[in-house]
């Protein structure tokens, strides 16, 4: 009698674990289109935008409108 109870319990436990695992997996499907976390503002293509005067500007350098206080020059 006791052996039968243990067998039945093990079977129930196995089935329950299997069903719960299947339910968890189907509820957490991988979405290949999901956004990256943290979000990537802009993918780097290795290219820079062409600014005024043909200057190539990467994303960390912004063009300005006013007069420069100084400039690079060959000395």
Partner 1 sequence: MPPDAPVEAHHFQALGTNCSVFGVGLSLSRLLLGEFWVHRLGTRLTRFSPDSEVSRFNASPGQWVYVSPELEALLRESLRAFEMSGGLVNVAVLPSMMAIGYTRPLAEARPTATVSGAGPLPALPNVLKVRAGAARLEPGAGIDLGGIAKGWMADRLRETLGPNALANLGGDLSAGGPGPAGSGWPVGLAGVTVLLRDQGAATSSVRRRRWGELHHLIDPRTGVPANTGLEEVSVVAASGVEAEVVAKTALLVGPELAPVYCAAHALAWWMSP
Q: Which residues bind partner 1 (CB under 8 A)?
A: 46-48, 51-58, 60-75
Whichever of 37 and 60 has its CB closer to partner 1, that residue is 60
> Least Å distance between CB 45 and partner 1?
10
Phi and psi at 10, nearest 5°, equal -65, -40
C-alpha 33/C-alpha 39 separation (Å) is: 13
Q: At which residue do the structure tokens 């196995």 appear?
A: 14
> Least Å distance between CB 70 and partner 1?
5
* Angle made by CA atoms 17, 21, 27, in degrees to the nearest 5: 150
Whichever of 7 and 56 has its CB closer to partner 1, that residue is 56
């Amino acid at each position: 009698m006791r052996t039968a109870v243990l067998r039945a319990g093990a079977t129930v436990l196995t089935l329950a674990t299997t069903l719960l695992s299947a339910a968890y997996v189907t509820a957490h499907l991988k979405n290949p289109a999901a956004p990256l976390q943290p979000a990537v503002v802009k993918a780097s293509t290795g290219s820079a935008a062409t600014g005024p005067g043909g200057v190539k500007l990467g994303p960390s350098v912004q063009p300005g409108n006013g007069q420069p206080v100084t400039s690079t020059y060959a000395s």
